[in-house]
Chain A
Amino acid sequence: MTASPMSHAYVHGVGVAAPGLADWAAALPVLRGETEYRAEPLPAFRTSLLPRNESRRAGAGVRMAFRVAEQACSLEQAGGCATVFVSSAGDIDIAEALCSAVNTPERAVSPIRFHNSVHNAAAGYWSIATGSREPSNSLSGGMDGFAVALCEAWATLATSATPVLLVCFDCDGQGLLHNARPDIHGSFALALLLSREPSGARARISRPALTRDAASRCVDEQLEYFRRCNPSARALPVLRALAGTGQSQVIVESGQGNLAIEVR
Chain B
Amino acid sequence: MKLGVIAHTVTTALGPGRDALWQGLREGRSGLSPCDFPGAELDTWIGHVHECEQIALPPELAQWDCRNNRLAELALQQDGFLDAVAVARREHAPERIGLFLGTSTSGIGQTEKAYAEADDGQMPGWFNYARSHDYFSVSGYIRARLGLKGPAMTISTACSSSAKVFAVAARSMAAGFCDIAVVGGIDSLCLTTLYGFNSLQLISSEPCRPCDTRRNGISVGEAAGFALVVPAGHAPQGTPCVLGVGESGDAHHMTAPEPSGAGAELAMRRALGDAGIDARAIGYVNLHGTATPANDLAEAQAVARLFGSHTPVSSTKGWTGHTLGAAGIVEAVIGWLALEHGWLPQTLNTCDIADDIHVGVLLEGRACDARYVLSNAFGFGGSNCALVLGQDP
Contacts and interface: CB of A to CB of B under 8 A. Distances in A.
B118 A176 contact: yes
Given A99-B112, A117-B196, A137-B247, 17 more contacts: A5-B175, A110-B199, A115-B380, A127-B251, A128-B252, A133-B250, A133-B266, A135-B247, A138-B156, A139-B156, A141-B153, A142-B139, A151-B172, A156-B171, A158-B175, A176-B123, A177-B129
Contact of A88 (B104, B135, B168, B254): B135
Most buried by A among B121, B133, B151: B151
Contacts of A183: 130
B111 interface: yes
Contacts of A140: 134-136, 139, 153-154, 156
A202 B111 CA distance: 44
A141 B156 CA distance: 11
A183 B131 CA distance: 12
A12 B64 CA distance: 40
- Among A99, A117, A139, the one with the most B-chain Cβ atoms within 10 Å of its Cβ is A99
Nearest to B148: A256
B192 A6 contact: no
A100 interface: yes
B393 interface: no
A10 interface: no
Contacts of A145: 136
A141 B380 contact: no
A131 B251 contact: yes
Contacts of B282: none
Contacts of B231: 1
A102 B191 contact: yes
Interface string B121-154: 1110001011001111001100000000111111
A170 B49 CA distance: 33
Contacts of B130: 142, 181, 183
B134 A151 contact: no
Given A2-B174, A114-B192, A133 B108 contact: no
Given A111-B196, A139-B154, A155-B177, A123 B168 contact: no
A120 B196 contact: no
B374 to A, nearest CB: 17
Contacts of B129: 89, 177, 180-181
Nearest to B133: A95
Contacts of A124: 249, 254, 380-383
B200 A142 contact: no
B283 interface: no
Interface string A197-240: 00000000000001000000000000000000000000000000
A180 B127 contact: yes
A195 interface: no
A35 interface: no
Contacts of B135: 87-90, 119, 140
B157 A120 contact: yes
Given A5-B176, A140-B134, A177-B111, A107 B191 contact: yes
Interface string A34-47: 00000000000000
Contacts of B149: 256-257
Given A1-B231, A180-B127, A127 B112 contact: no
Which label, helix, strand, loop or mixed, suits the secondary structure of the B interface?
Answer: mixed
B367 interface: no
17 contacts: A95-B108, A108-B199, A109-B196, A123-B249, A124-B383, A128-B251, A134-B249, A136-B247, A137-B164, A139-B155, A139-B156, A154-B175, A155-B177, A159-B171, A177-B129, A179-B123, A257-B95
A71 interface: no
A120 B379 CA distance: 9
Given A1-B179, A120-B158, A142-B134, A102 B39 contact: yes
Nearest 6 CB-CB pairs, A to B?
A124-B381, A140-B135, A114-B196, A119-B156, A142-B136, A135-B247
Contacts of A108: 199
A187 interface: no
A101 B164 contact: no
Contact of A125 (B133, B248, B254): B254
B123 A120 contact: no
Contacts of A111: 196, 199-200
A30 interface: no
A121 to B, nearest CB: 6
A118 B247 CA distance: 18
B381 A118 contact: yes
A128 B382 contact: yes
A78 B136 CA distance: 27
Interface string A153-178: 01110110000000000000000110
A249 interface: no
A116 interface: yes
B70 to A, nearest CB: 19
